[in-house]
Structure 1
Amino acid sequence: MTESLRTCYVYLNQTSRSFAAVIQALDGELRHAVCIFYLVLRALDTVEDDMTIPLDRKVPLLQDFHSFLYQPEWRFTGSQEKDRQVLEDFPTISVEFRNLGQEYQDVIVDICRRMGVGMAEFLEKKVGSMTEWDKYCHYVAGLVGVGLSQLFSASQLEEPEVGGDTELANSMGLFLQKTNIIRDYLEDQQQSRAFWPQEAWSKFSSGLEDFAEPQHLSSGLACLNLLVTDALRHVPDVISYLSRLRNQSVFNFCAIPQVMAIATLSACYNNPMVFQGVVKIRKGQAVTLMMQATNMGAVKSIIAQYSQEMVPKVCVSDPSCERTLHMLALIRERSLCGDSHTHTHTHHLSPVYLSAAMLLAALSWQYLSATATATATTTPPGTTDMQGH
């Protein structure tokens, strides 16, 4: 391993926290490709997040970012963000990008270009319609799913159809992103950010910020449940996508975030705490999910469990009641039905994979324990975040 690649893995561990362990568990050269893909997008995202960069400078930075991958000396030293080292030492990342096989380079530069253009589009406009919500989530997360899927296929660890079916790959990203946006309502409001679509919240209030007020709780819950229901429509695609995967390390990499998301979404549904604090799943629950999500049968059971936990919480007076129950019934049907691909992942895990799962759980527990103190002021003890970042 080159010195620059070692440095890239240092940056990976510094910026992606607990999910660095999942990336590093990927097989062969795919591990390096996904590491570089992550760091390139982390650098792009750092530019987008930095509110100290003037718009007239930020827009061309985002739109042209993909071209910097082929400029060996390019770096950006004007950021104040916590992850700015990936911009300040971008030559270390870009040289390893150019060391990748051309099939990997083509995927990364294409996704970086499309994402940069999309981020620039939403810099000066808020998410209005539900269609725009899908579009925004596509730019910031769906494209990540598409790019990862194409990397999986380029590595030949997965079949070409995994990278070719961009609709399923997009749904993988949208489900995660929508769950994050739903869960992070209060944090985003406190930082003057708004990602809940106006088409949804305007049905129940004159202002998105109203939902944080106790007198507007019933309206807030109605909007929350509408958005949770919208996110649930991606779950059948998630099941279809995961059912196609053949490589165990790729399966683990993809399945763990999805089961964490369904558990988080279930906890958020009809929950007033979304407007009062941060809804997080328990530390022990998170580690258990990581340990269990290693085969398709287990993943389907987890999805069925958490989706059905929402059913008793559905109120007949909720405006989205019928659609919510319909989606939950559809998910239950998809979770319980047989699948021609499922047998691939129902074998007993080898000692190597059991050891890797134990290591991942241990690393995750260390991270969750370390962050528990930091979050104690806003969340009850024994909870954890859905994602490491």
Structure 2
Amino acid sequence: MGALSTMIKHPDDIYPLLKLKIASRHVEKQIPAEPHWAFCYTMLQKVSRSFALVIQQLGTELRNAVCIFYLVLRALDTVEDDTNIATDVKVPILLAFHQHIYDPEWHFACGTNNYKVLMDEFHHVSTAFLELGKGYQEAIEDITRRMGDGMAKFILKEVETIDDYDEYCHYVAGLVGLGLSKLFHASGKEDLASDSLSNSMGLFLQKTNIIRDYLEDINEIPKSRMFWPREIWSKYVNKLEDLKSEENSEKAVQCLNDMVTNALIHMEDCLKYMAALRDPAIFKFCAIPQIMAIGTLALCYNNIEVFKGVVKMRRGLTAKVIDRTKSMDDVYGAFFDFASVIKSKVDKNDPHATKTLSRVEAGQKLCRDSGALSKRKSYIINNEQNSTLIVALFIILAIVYAYLSASPRI
């Protein structure tokens, strides 16, 4: 009933959801025949279904390189995240991971569920990596080495200051942005973007994930690993886990808003990076996750539910973003709309209200100056005005589908 209720409230989600379902099935049918590539693309769907979908925007050669890049870094991240691995074992693996990707025999038992399978069967990833062009291999090795070094550093170091926070996010996500820019350039389809803009693309996504995943991370067993900087959260509570206590609700929301405001500093850079892209497939690959990030920040801002459960965009809205994102005009429109949602939720009594509004309005000005805002469908709609006809049509379709499903086949 929950899904049905959501569709009735948002009937314009139905068509994008159907298109997304069809696209997902198409992706499943595009699994290569070779065993190592079949493993890589099947595993990609299991560890990140949304990424598996957007990667299909790319041409075959670049798609293969990005697929392997993602799986290598996901495996590296699995080692870093596994709190059951002793530090004296974990650090050497992180430091040497860039060498292991050249060894088709190497694997390491860690992680859980699909991540454990990825690590156990990592030889498939290495075999596929060795088939990539040299330019792709060099870019992946370089980023893997630098990321492993950074992760090893933060295994032994807490995120105390905002500078620490930016440095950690650079190692685990900013470098992904740099690596993708290198892969795009190696493909011959894009100029090499600046490190600062590439870094911001990664930091915007990573900071959004860190904010959204507070409760999941703080409750992790056997030991939580948190990356909210002490410089921010210590202004509101004595211990980071105190943010989930009911008596600290007001302070928790203020801390959350502080974190979102910090993430918004990267918004303008992200827009500039995407505006410079030339290849339509690469553009869409980059743009969809960034719109999802600003949409998630809009949901999280001033929302106590972040400390109580999972806060994420509804699937229909995600489908709508994937369906609508075709040009930079669409990106400007989406960023403007979700920034407007944040702006509407700013409490003038919030300690960082002025700074939040300043960053939101700077991003909105960039969108407004593009001249694109009058040429797109808005993501902000009045649900009360949804068409009764569309709702009725949905109900009729559901009845027809149920009737056809129940009819005996001859």
Class of the TM-score when normalised by the shorter of the 2 chains = 0.7 to 0.9
Deviation at 1:9, TM superposition (A): 1.4
> 1:128: which partner in 2?
160
> 2:98: which partner in 1?
66
Q: Say whether residues 1:36 and 2:65 are aligned partners.
A: no
Deviation at 1:71, TM superposition (A): 2.2
Task: State the alpha-carbon separation in 1 of the partners of residues 215 and 111 from structure 2.
Answer: 25
Superposed CA deviations along residues 101-151 of structure 1, whole A, max 9, x for unmatched, are 110011000000011111111113221100111111111111111101110
Deviation at 1:219, TM superposition (A): 0.9
Task: State the alpha-carbon separation in 1 of the partners of residues 119 and 213 from structure 2.
Answer: 26
Instruction: Identify which of 270, 276, 288 aligns with 1:244.
Output: 276
Counterpart residue identity of residue 306, structure 1: F
Instruction: Identify which of 203, 207, 212 aligns with 1:178.
Output: 207
Aligned length: 338
> 1:199: which partner in 2?
231
> 1:209: which partner in 2?
241
> 2:300: which partner in 1?
268
Conserved? CA contact 2:178–2:195, under 8 Å:
yes
Conserved? CA contact 1:181–1:195, under 8 Å:
yes
Counterpart residue identity of residue 280, structure 1: K
Deviation at 1:81, TM superposition (A): 5.5
Task: State the alpha-carbon separation in 2 of the partners of residues 8 and 309 from structure 1.
Answer: 38
Distance 1:125 1:34, change over 3 A: same
Conserved? CA contact 1:292–1:299, under 8 Å:
no
Task: State the alpha-carbon separation in 1 of the partners of residues 175 and 207 from structure 2.
Answer: 14
Deviation at 1:80, TM superposition (A): 4.5
Q: Secondary structure, in 3 states, of the residue corresponding to 2:184? A: helix
Task: State the alpha-carbon separation in 2 of the partners of residues 45 and 69 from structure 1.
Answer: 14
Distance 1:78 1:254, change over 3 A: closer
> 1:381: which partner in 2?
none
> 1:110: which partner in 2?
142
Instruction: Identify which of 146, 168, 190 aligns with 2:219.
Output: 190
Conserved? CA contact 2:332–2:370, under 8 Å:
no
Conserved? CA contact 2:46–2:114, under 8 Å:
no
Instruction: Identify which of 369, 372, 375 aligns with 1:337.
Output: 369
> 2:79: which partner in 1?
47
Deviation at 1:249, TM superposition (A): 1.1
Distance 1:148 1:210, change over 3 A: same
Q: Say whether residues 1:142 and 2:171 are aligned partners.
A: no
Q: Structure 1 stretches of 5 or more lacking a match?
A: 347-389
Counterpart residue identity of residue 117, structure 1: D
Task: State the alpha-carbon separation in 1 of the partners of residues 359 and 301 from structure 2.
Answer: 13
Deviation at 1:310, TM superposition (A): 1.5
Task: State the alpha-carbon separation in 2 of the partners of residues 196 and 169 from structure 1.
Answer: 22
Conserved? CA contact 1:76–1:87, under 8 Å:
yes
Q: Highest Rg: 1 or 2?
A: 2
> 1:374: which partner in 2?
none
Conserved? CA contact 2:143–2:176, under 8 Å:
yes
Counterpart residue identity of residue 112, structure 1: T
Task: State the alpha-carbon separation in 2 of the partners of residues 16 and 261 from structure 1.
Answer: 15
Superposed CA deviations along residues 348-372 of structure 1, whole A, max 9, x for unmatched, are xxxxxxxxxxxxxxxxxxxxxxxxx
Superposed CA deviations along residues 26-65 of structure 1, whole A, max 9, x for unmatched, are 1131011001111111111111112222111110000000
Counterpart residue identity of residue 321, structure 2: L
Q: Secondary structure, in 3 states, of the residue corresponding to 2:155? A: coil
Deviation at 1:184, TM superposition (A): 1.2
Task: State the alpha-carbon separation in 2 of the partners of residues 46 and 275 from structure 1.
Answer: 24
Conserved? CA contact 1:264–1:281, under 8 Å:
yes
> 1:257: which partner in 2?
289
Conserved? CA contact 2:43–2:114, under 8 Å:
no
Q: Structure 2 stretches of 5 or more lacking a match?
A: 1-31, 376-410
Task: State the alpha-carbon separation in 2 of the partners of residues 305 and 102 from structure 1.
Answer: 42
What TM-score do the two structures reach when normalised by structure 2?
0.79
Conserved? CA contact 2:213–2:310, under 8 Å:
yes
Deviates more, 1:89-98 or 1:145-154: 89-98
The sequence identity of aligned pairs, in percent, is 48
Task: State the alpha-carbon separation in 1 of the partners of residues 36 and 241 from structure 2.
Answer: 45
Distance 1:103 1:310, change over 3 A: same
Deviation at 1:25, TM superposition (A): 2.6
Q: Secondary structure, in 3 states, of the residue corresponding to 2:58? A: coil
Question: Over aligned residues, Cα RMSD in angstroms?
Answer: 1.6
